[in-house]
Amino acid sequence: MAILRSVLFVALIVVVVVPCGAQTGNPEDIFTISIAAPTAAKDVQVRYFFTGEFGGRGSSEAVPVDGNKLVIKTGVEGKSAKTFKAIAYAPGCQLVTISVDDLTAANHQGEFHCLTLPTIQLHGRIDPLRLGQRKFQVEVLYVCRWAMPFFGIQEGSTSPLQLGRVNVASDGTFTLELPDFTADPTWPNTSKEAELMFYLRDSATGGRAAHLITGSHSGNLQVATGYSEVVLEIPTPEM
């Protein structure tokens, strides 16, 4: 049976999201992250949360600017943030965390230096009968469940980090080259709170065709020191 054409989306909500707008002229309302070469600012993904008199706000939007930097607006309705925390990632690099407990007593700047992680292979397969004659890719995302404790939030979730994608062979098999997150210094604190999420993408259009699931309770795959062959399934839509 060929894969259904309808697209399945999973809602991934950033806690109390307020999209960041254009940079303001008040330096007290801007946090800047300097990106060390050869990493380009446009390749760095961030998830952040800041607090102040207005409560808490979080997002993943950052604006690349000249000087290989990312700027993040932290002011809300003329009120400045008091605390700021961020998680930053670039392909192949260790995760970087930034934490400022009192912005009024610190400069509003952070740094991202890419420390390369070793890689690990993940072999997987999908039932080729579900794919039909179309060509697909598998996209893998890093679900950062440990972000909530790091941000000091009891409930919620952040949008996942993009790790990459790979072509699916005609027999339904694929091999992903992933960062070995067990070699990351954050690993001791995140081993039980990080997962891999998979999507099937149409190679011709680039659009997501389905959310792929494993046999686990969450449907995702726990980040681990190694992986056996992973069997991914295309959920059958409920009638």
Q: What is the pLDDT of residue 16?
A: 35
Q: Mean pLDDT in each 10-residue stretch from start to end of the chain (239 residues)? A: 37 35 58 97 97 93 96 92 96 95 91 96 94 94 93 87 96 96 88 90 94 91 92 76
Q: What is the pLDDT of residue 191?
A: 74
* SS3 annotation, 167-206: ECCCCCEEEEEEECHHHCCCHHHHCCCEEEEEEEEECCCC
Cα(217)–Cα(132) distance, rounded to whole angstroms? Answer: 28
Q: What is the pLDDT of residue 26?
A: 63
Ordered structural domains, the chain, with CATH: 27-112 (2.60.40), 119-232 (2.60.40)
In the numeric block, the tokens 């392909």 are attached to: 91
Q: What is the pLDDT of residue 124?
A: 96
DSSP 147: H
Q: What is the pLDDT of residue 128?
A: 93
Cα(91)–Cα(87) distance, rounded to whole angstroms? Answer: 14
Question: What is the rounded radius of gyration, in angstroms, for the C-alpha atoms of the chain?
Answer: 19
Q: What is the pLDDT of residue 25?
A: 46
- Reduced to 3 states, what is the DSSP secondary structure of residue 20? coil
Q: What is the pLDDT of residue 156?
A: 78
Structural contact between residues 185 and 94, judged by C-beta atoms closer than 8 angstroms: yes
Query: Residue 208 has which token pair?
Result: 């997501």
Structural contact between residues 151 and 199, judged by C-beta atoms closer than 8 angstroms: no
H helices of the chain, in order, are 147-151, 187-190
In the numeric block, the tokens 């999973």 are attached to: 10
Cα(182)–Cα(227) distance, rounded to whole angstroms? Answer: 12
DSSP secondary structure string for all residues of 24-54: PS-GGGEEEEEE-TTS-GGG-EEEEEEEETT
Q: What is the pLDDT of residue 2?
A: 41
Cα(191)–Cα(146) distance, rounded to whole angstroms? Answer: 9
Query: What is the CB neighbour count within 10 angstroms for residue 191?
Result: 15
Cα(120)–Cα(1) distance, rounded to whole angstroms? Answer: 33
Query: Residue 76 has which token pair?
Result: 């809300």
Residues in the chain: 239
Q: What is the pLDDT of residue 10?
A: 33
The model carries a pTM of 0.84
- Reduced to 3 states, what is the DSSP secondary structure of residue 56? strand
- Reduced to 3 states, what is the DSSP secondary structure of residue 149? helix
**Phi, psi torsion values for 167, nearest 5 degrees:** -70, 145
